[in-house]
Amino acid sequence: MTDILATELKTYERHREELLGAAEGKFVLIHEAEVVGVYESQMDAIAEGYRRFGNVPFLVKQIVKIEIPLNFSSHHLGL
C-alpha cells in the first residue's frame, strides 16, 4: 500500500525549519508539493483545503518543534 500523504509529508519536512521560524504553533495546509498557507486554527486550514481542492487528500499539520505521535482509527476503514 502506498502512503497517500507521502509527498505532502516530504514537503513539510523540506519547509519545516522556515515554518517553525515564521509560524510555530499555527497550522499549515499542504497539497501535493505546495505549501498552500498557514492558518490560526486547524479548522480554518481544513476548510480552506476542502474549498480549494475538494474531497481529495491534503495535509493539515500543526507546526511544532517536537512531534507527538497520535494514533487514530477509522470505522470507515474497518479498523
pLDDT at site 71:
67
- 9-61 pLDDT, tens per residue? 999 999 999 999 999 999 999 999 999 999 999 999 999 999 999 999 999 99
Please answer whether residues 15 and 35 qualify as being in contact, where contact means their C-beta atoms are separated by less than 8 angstroms.
yes
pLDDT at site 3:
86
pLDDT at site 68:
81
Of residues 75 and 68, the one with the higher pLDDT is: 68
Specify the pTM: 0.83
65 CB contacts (<8 Å, ≥6 apart)? 20, 24
pLDDT at site 2:
58
